[in-house]
Amino acid sequence: MAEAPLTLTEHLEELRRRLAWCLGVLLGAVVLSCTQLDRLMDWLQRPAQPWLPRLAFFTPTEPVTAYVKVALLSGVLLAMPYLLWQAWAFVRAGLTAPERRYGAGFVWWGSLQFALGAAFAWGVMLPVSLRVLLQLGAGRFEPVISLGAYLTFVTTMIFWTGIIFELPVLLWALAKVGIVTPAWLRQQRPYALLVLVIVAALMTPTTDIVSLLLMAIPLAGLYELSIVVTQWAMPSTQTGGEV
């Protein structure tokens, strides 16, 4: 039996209710993360420890701000499955019955992609960029980096890399509902790569070329992966068509 269409007021009320639940779950995840702050801080400092064994702070409130950033990042990671489920639940009313079956796949794959992006940033991007950046002045200057500046750099890169890794999931979902096709994505590749480089520049916490390349190259790879997954998402009779 088809669901009755909602009015604009009902859509806005549903959005408000879902946002409230998302905020509540996110706050709960942040509170839970606060119980593990020391471990999380050790984990986030690990990529820089070979070149920066100690961090400094220059204002009395800087450690508090740093802990809040760490708790927020961890809270988003923990709450991501629920946030994605609420996003899917909000748009499912406008989908057909066959399209609604893909909700579970969207949630688990999106959560996995965000975690993979965070792990890639921590295990690859941060060690490489920190090694290059901190060794540029080695021998002439001594790095004295504040706790707040370091965690802003680290948490920004981890968060946005996790978001960027959602690109295949987003395009897969758009292909499932017929908004994009692999042929269209191939056709738009030059423009997409230009946009992705601009996005990488905006999301990079510093303006150095190393961090920009470390963000832009995975983006380009994710775009190519997105073409493959949209190929899987489309019926075989439609993979060659245009939007």
pLDDT tens figures, 171-208: 888 887 778 888 888 888 888 888 888 887 777 766 66
- Asked if the model's pLDDT at residue 214 lies above 70, the reply is yes
Q: Could you tell me how many helices (H) and strands (E) the chain has, helices first?
A: 11, 0
The answer to whether the Cα torsion of 17, 160, 39, 41 is positive or negative is negative
pLDDT at residue 235, as a whole number: 56
Higher pLDDT, 145 or 140: 145
- Read off the pTM: 0.80
**What pLDDT sits at residue 137?**
66
At 135 the pLDDT is 76
How many whole angstroms separate alpha carbon 89 and alpha carbon 15? 10
